[in-house]
Chain A
Amino acid sequence: MDTGSPQDTGPDASQSTIEAAGGEPVWIALPPGLLKMRRLLLVVWLGLITLAAGLVPGLLAGPAWAAFALPPLALLVWGWVMLERNWRSWRYTERADDLLISRGVLWREETVVPYGRMQLVEVTSGPVERHFGLASVQLHTAAAWTDATIPGLDPAEAERLRDRLTELGEARSAGL
């Protein structure tokens, strides 16, 4: 139970501390694949909606009604910009004893999960994500509110993170 302190982690500690000299953790950003995937999905769906909203009234009721295509088009442009801001806001860092995840532009959220509290680590990858070579890592603790997910990672990095978190979680296991 009493394995929480960094002193008794032994050889582990040297490789786990990737903190800069100033004590500030080194943040890792997400790879660009996630942004690419989200933008593609946005363009595909909103593009279809724009086409439908423009063509159907335009052909049936006259060219002026094609203006219905403008709101989805505006949404597409706005979404294009927002997706990048959101993607930029995601970052995480592995500290000696906990994992830090920071995200959000307007509603910012920063989550700290001590390794010892991890119950299970999950790597998931849907069909679209797999096509883009992405995987997400999700951490579960005994609290359902702990929503610690890191999306859009490189599969190799996701697996490395999973193995490392599992190992650290075992070493510092504390349960409820």
Chain B
Amino acid sequence: MTAPGGAEASKATAETAETAAEVTEAAAGVTEAASEAAAGVTEAAEAAAEVTEASETAETAETAEAAEASEVAKTATDTATEVTETASETAETATEVTERRLHPVTPLRRAWAPVAVLIGWAVHDPDGAQRHLTRLTTTTLLIGLAVLVPAAALYGFCSWWFTHFAVTESELRIRTGLVFRRVAHIRLERIQAVDVTQPLLARVAGVAKLKLDVIGTDKKDELAFLGADEARTLRAELLARAAGFAPETAHEVGEAPSRQLLRVPPGVLALSLVLTAATWASLAAALVVPPVLWLVTHSLWTVLAVALPLLGAAGASSVGRFVAEYDWTLAESPDGLRIDHGLLDRSHETVPPGRVQTVRIVEPLLWRRRGWVRVELDVAGSSNSVLVPVAPREIAEDVVARVLPGVSVPGPAALSPAPRSARWCVPLWWRGYGLAVTDAVFASRSGLLRRSLALVPHAKVQSVRLTQGPWERARGLADVCVDTGANKTVRARLRDAAEARELLAAQAERSRTGRRDARPDRWMA
């Protein structure tokens, strides 16, 4: 190579020409073998490497032909790399959109519906049901079953077969529907929360439901059902991708390790429900109203029609809440806050960092002596609202500080009360109102017996409003409302009018600049 002669150069030319031809062939092979794209990639890459070697050889040759040849070789390399790119692209798309189906038990999720309809009809009209039942012969029954069962099975199978989902780099795609097609692309960086829920029957069957809370998605966009383990790994993968991990590593990141922050003991939960006035009020209503109605009307149907909803409400507010909030566990992990709860239906919610719009610390009257509070939160597009059902105040404040980083809950002393003239607008309850604005949050307290302190981080404020009714204007007062993305409005009621005006301007400024320190949508990137 050091002494370039004519013969050698021509040899090199011939070689490069040959390799170029090879490359073209390989390229053709790649384009042809679209299905075996991965194999094509390696081939093309090998060919490209060969060409590069050859062109290096050619460059050392000083003859014009050799230079020409090297040019040819270069273009060949270029085409080769181009082909490699397209091939790898096809390979990527091939691996990327691996569409998956839901768990095979999914068609059974609505199997109880016809049975429920039949039972409902029988209860509604018992005489008619009996008449129809006696008229049923074995043949009609058999024919009916022979038509209905395969039809239902076919419907169930089709709805399962035509539902696909795929996780791409930035989206979760759900494709569903046989006649009316529907494709939902859900952007992962916009995830507000991820829930894995297991209703009782699903727990028995070992499956789970996965729901992504993104603003604007509807009920159809949940994945029901997946295998319990599959749901868990999928949640981990979705969160990892949403966090900004590279797609190759997203599989391996796996479930982020979590650290338990709090666990509510069943005894404390039960006692907290006993000490809630709403529980007793609904129980009392359910026990008092039906007998009174019976004495007045003597009509069984009226009493039943009133008593059943009342009993239902009483059950929901006592036993129902206990069952739902049983074993409430709160854990912290890099991909968000984990909330696990439920006695019969287990649910595992994850709120990624920086998604909380409002936090409320609620303190019912009877809890005050024990120093317990309840913490509620608002996340846009999500129905989850409880963060901690019951906890001592210090622990709850610690949790709030983790949910809203850099926020310390202002104590009662830090809240400036409403001015005295407010007593003419809202008698007695005006004492409950209070406001504190710190560097990080807008905090407003309301309620006299059941105190509630709402915290809004400045970065989450969408708009600020000042409202003033005729009564308030007569007393020189005004309200300041702060709107957040979870469609919740936090009001600072009955402030001095001049103070409210200043607050309006200052809050608009803070909400604008507050965003600067906020976390990015992809919080790990």
Q: Which A residues are within 8 Å of any B CB, using their own CB?
A: 1-2, 4-5, 97-98, 106-114, 116-117, 141-146, 148, 172, 174-176
Contacts and interface: CB of A to CB of B under 8 A. Distances in A.
Given A108-B467, A145-B489, A1 B484 contact: no
Contacts of A97: 509, 512
B508 interface: yes
A144 B463 CA distance: 10
B323 to A, nearest CB: 32
Contact of A108 (B380, B468, B505, B521): B468
A110 B508 CA distance: 12
Contact of B465 (A110, A172, A176): A110
A89 B466 CA distance: 15
B380 A107 contact: no
Interface string B187-206: 00000000000000000000
A101 to B, nearest CB: 9
B467 A143 contact: no
B410 interface: no
B473 interface: yes
B516 A2 contact: yes
Contacts of B518: 1
B513 A5 contact: yes
B467 A109 contact: yes
Contacts of A141: 462-463, 483, 485
Nearest to A117: B462
B463 A107 contact: no
A143 B380 CA distance: 9
B483 A145 contact: yes
16 contacts: A1-B515, A111-B465, A112-B504, A113-B462, A114-B508, A116-B515, A117-B462, A141-B463, A142-B380, A143-B485, A144-B487, A145-B483, A146-B462, A146-B463, A146-B465, A176-B215
Interface string B496-525: 000000001101110111011010110000
Given A108-B467, A108-B468, A148-B463, A114 B487 contact: no
Nearest to B357: A176
A105 B483 CA distance: 22
Contacts, number: 89
Given A108-B468, A110-B466, A117-B463, A143 B512 contact: no
Q: Is the interface of A mostly helix, strand, loop or mixed?
A: loop
Given A117-B462, A176-B485, A4 B467 contact: no
A112 B473 contact: no
Contact of A107 (B468, B486, B520): B468
A57 B196 CA distance: 67
A141 B467 CA distance: 19
Contacts of B481: 145
A141 B460 CA distance: 12
Contacts of A174: 515
B485 A4 contact: no
Interface of B: 215, 357, 380, 460, 462-470, 473, 481, 483-487, 489, 504-505, 507-509, 511-513, 515-516, 518, 520-521
Per CB-CB distance, the 9 closest pairs between chain A and chain B, nearest first, are A143-B483, A142-B485, A143-B462, A146-B463, A112-B508, A141-B462, A110-B466, A145-B483, A108-B468
B463 A4 contact: no
Contacts of A114: 463, 508, 511-512
A172 B511 CA distance: 13
Contacts of A1: 515-516, 518, 520
A13 B464 CA distance: 23
A4 B465 contact: no
Contact of A112 (B464, B485, B486): B464
B506 to A, nearest CB: 10
Contacts of B463: 111-114, 117, 141, 143, 145-146, 148
Contacts of A106: 469-470
A97 B487 CA distance: 23
B512 A116 contact: yes
B340 to A, nearest CB: 26
Nearest to B486: A143
A145 B509 CA distance: 19
A97 B465 CA distance: 16
Most buried by B among A97, A106, A145: A145
Given A145-B489, A148-B463, A176-B380, A107 B469 contact: yes
Contacts of B508: 98, 112, 114
A145 B487 contact: yes
A148 B481 CA distance: 14
A96 to B, nearest CB: 10
A111 B515 contact: no
Nearest to A5: B513
Contact of A142 (B215, B465, B473, B521): B215
Contacts of A142: 215, 380, 462, 485
Contacts of A117: 462-463, 511
A111 B468 contact: no
Given A4-B512, A109-B466, A112-B504, A176 B460 contact: yes
Given A108-B467, A114-B508, A145-B483, 6 more contacts: A98-B508, A112-B464, A112-B505, A112-B507, A114-B463, A144-B487
Nearest to B518: A1
A2 B513 CA distance: 9
B27 to A, nearest CB: 43
A108 B215 CA distance: 31
A72 B470 CA distance: 25
A116 B470 CA distance: 33
B256 to A, nearest CB: 23
Contacts of B485: 141-143, 176
Nearest to B468: A108
Nearest to B478: A108
B515 A112 contact: no
Contacts of B483: 141, 143, 145-146
